Structure 1
Amino acid sequence: MVVGKYIDNPLLINGHKSDLRLYVLVTSYDPLIIYLYEDGLVRFATVKYDNSGKNLWNPCMHLCNYSINKYHSDYIKGSDPDNDDQGHKWSLSAYLKHLKANNIDTGQLMQSIEDVIIKSIVSVEFPVNSACKMFVPHRNNCFELYGFDILVDSELKAWLIEVNLSPSLNVDTPVDLKIKSAMIRNKNNF
């Protein structure tokens, strides 16, 4: 069971709650080397957000997981990877472009997100590094890809929802294929 504070003031895009799936590559824990992939995915809840508390039962309003929202009758699956700000899954770059167009300081937002990522990795650095020293004979041949799920609130504060070890690289939409295949193909984007 996971217990966390419910963030009741999410940053809304067109009335919908969203979260970010960011890809983080750690190639070493000693010394600590962390890379954040330059793009990511933004997943939207299918139902417009209402913070009155009357709709707490509705997971398609409060959760942004694709695995939940894809079954909702109002879910829109984008069909063109070049129009990556359509439907209920966007690219991070399209999301940031949308925020900039609405006079939101995306540089400060990304710095806040990077801070959350670094603090999260640093918080497990000692036990992971200790385990690597004990069980991994050739540490320079190892890496881990993490999927960081981040919620941004209306004050532009980044909140860590969860960190996924070895996140799914399945592709169900054109924007998935665009982001994930480019990430795998080109290490220089980290």
Structure 2
Amino acid sequence: MVTSYRPLKYIKFENRIPVSYELQNNDCYDILRYVLVTSYRPLKAYMHKLGFCRFCTVRYDASGQDLDNMFVHLTNVSIQKHGEEYNSIHGGKWPVRTLRLYLESTRGKTKTDKLFWDMEWLLVHSLIAVAPIMASDRHCFECYGYDIIIDDQLKPWLIEVNASPSLTSTTANDRILKHKLIDDTLNVVLPPDGVPK
């Protein structure tokens, strides 16, 4: 069985002083990562290697003149696709691997590796935080969509976690990712040998 999921593990992390969020290059964007949870007790979670970096179609203006313009501040494709600047070919998205290559070329591999490690830390610790209050049934699973922004110091900030994120496809790359996500999810929860992980 081949999947793009890999198990998430508990990671210890030192305390840090928060850095305020700043938009980079006047582009508002977030990162969408998918996590499959098959159990909360014990915690069994898998992060999908695929994901997207979603961009707003309108550039951010620090003057504050665009506070009411949702195309400047909200990266959701359900909103962005109605904007005049929306590109239906790429859908205002980069695959996570493209974002990683871009950051490695502009910020360096070491800083980029740390960013991705820190994002994984966010995922793990958000699940640890809610595990005690989540109903745990070995016959259930959940796929979550994590929305993360990064600041100018490449520190990730968790914005929200969506249960059962949208599987609607707006581009060819979107369809490929979501098909792979569904296929890999089923391979984890319904493996060929019939024994769920």
Q: Indicate conservation of the 8 Å contact 1:11/1:156, yes or no.
A: no
How much has 1:186 moved relative to structure 2?
Answer: 3.0
The count of residues paired between Structure 1 and Structure 2 equals: 166
Task: Tell me how large the CA RMSD over aligned residues is.
Answer: 1.9
CA distance in 1, matches of 2:21, 2:70: 14
Encode CA deviations 1:26-55: one digit per residue, 9 max, x unaligned.
Answer: 111111111110010111101012222222
How much has 1:145 moved relative to structure 2?
Answer: 0.5
Q: 1:99 aligns with which of 96, 103, 115?
A: 103
Q: Compute the TM-score of the two structures, normalised by the length of structure 1.
A: 0.80
How much has 1:11 moved relative to structure 2?
Answer: 3.3
1:135 matched to which residue of 2? none
Q: Indicate conservation of the 8 Å contact 1:43/1:65, yes or no.
A: yes
1:83 matched to which residue of 2? none
2:11 matched to which residue of 1? none
Q: 1:152 aligns with which of 127, 150, 153?
A: 150
2:22 matched to which residue of 1? 9
Q: 2:72 aligns with which of 51, 61, 81?
A: 61
The range that moved more, 24-33 or 94-103, is 94-103
Q: Indicate conservation of the 8 Å contact 1:23/1:147, yes or no.
A: yes
2:193 matched to which residue of 1? none
Q: Which runs of 5+ in 2 are unaligned?
A: 1-19, 189-197
1:174 matched to which residue of 2? 172
Secondary structure at 1:186's aligned position in 2? helix
2:8 matched to which residue of 1? none
Once the two structures are superposed, the pairs formed by residues 53-132 of structure 1 within 5 Å of their partners are 53-78=64-89, 86=90, 88-104=92-108, 105-128=111-134, 131-132=135-136
Q: Which runs of 5+ in 1 are unaligned?
A: 1-6, 79-85, 133-138
Q: Indicate conservation of the 8 Å contact 2:21/2:152, yes or no.
A: no
Q: Indicate conservation of the 8 Å contact 1:18/1:43, yes or no.
A: yes
- Structure 1 runs (4+) greater than 6 angstroms displaced: none
1:33 equivalent in alignment to 2:37: no
CA distance in 1, matches of 2:169, 2:179: 9
